[in-house]
Structures are given as C-alpha cells and as structure tokens.
Amino acid sequence: MTDPNEPARELWNRYYIVTMELLKFINAQDIDEFLELVAQRKKLGEMIAQLPANNYRQTPECEALFNKIRPLDMQIIYKAKSWLNKAKKNNMAVKSYDLVGKNPLGSMVNREL
C-alpha cells in the first residue's frame, strides 16, 4: 500500500532543498544561478498547488518543514533586497559619470586644452 502523502512529501522536500540552494547562491552573489533556482522553485510551488487535497499540510512533519523554510525565505528576501539596492546604487553611480553631451560644462572640463 502506498502512502497518499508521498507525492506532497517529495515535492515539499524538493522545495526545501531548492530554498537552501537559493540561500547558498545569493550568499555567493551568483545571481544568474539564483534566478534559475527561483524559476525552479516557482515551478515546484505550482506543482504543489496542483496536488489533490490531502492531509500532509496538517502533519507535524510538514509543519517542521515549514518551520525550516520560513527563516530561509526571510534571509533570502533580505539578501535579495540588499543585493538589488546595491545594484541600483552602483548603476546610479555609473550613470552619474555619463554626462558627456548632456551638460555643456562637463564637456568643457573633459576637453584637453
């Protein structure tokens, strides 16, 4: 006899593993891999949502898994926002040097005498 909760258990465990990997890649600032994992985790979430109704979410096992995922999610969100703010700040700094042709005083200063 098979356990009716097995598909949900497997998907939620995959979701947890991908969440741990997300944290690893955001810590390493490997944003390309991070974004790929975000897409994978989204697909897992969609697969979980399509599961038939069962009682797995009410089990102590699933609650323990949620309690592991929640703090990881909070760290990921904080680090992703921090990275995004840093990237925006760096982008603004780069754009501030792009004044040639926009400010006549800037082109006068940059010309050789």
**pLDDT tens series, the chain, 113 aa:** 578 889 999 999 999 999 999 999 999 989 999 999 999 999 999 999 998 887 888 899 999 999 999 999 999 999 999 988 988 877 776 666 665 555 555 555 555 55
Instruction: Please tell me the pTM assigned to this model.
Output: 0.75
Tokens found for residue 77: 């969100």
Tokens found for residue 72: 């990881």
Residue 35, helix vs strand vs coil: helix
* Domains in the chain: boundaries: 6-110
* Torsion 58-24-80-49 (CA) sign: negative
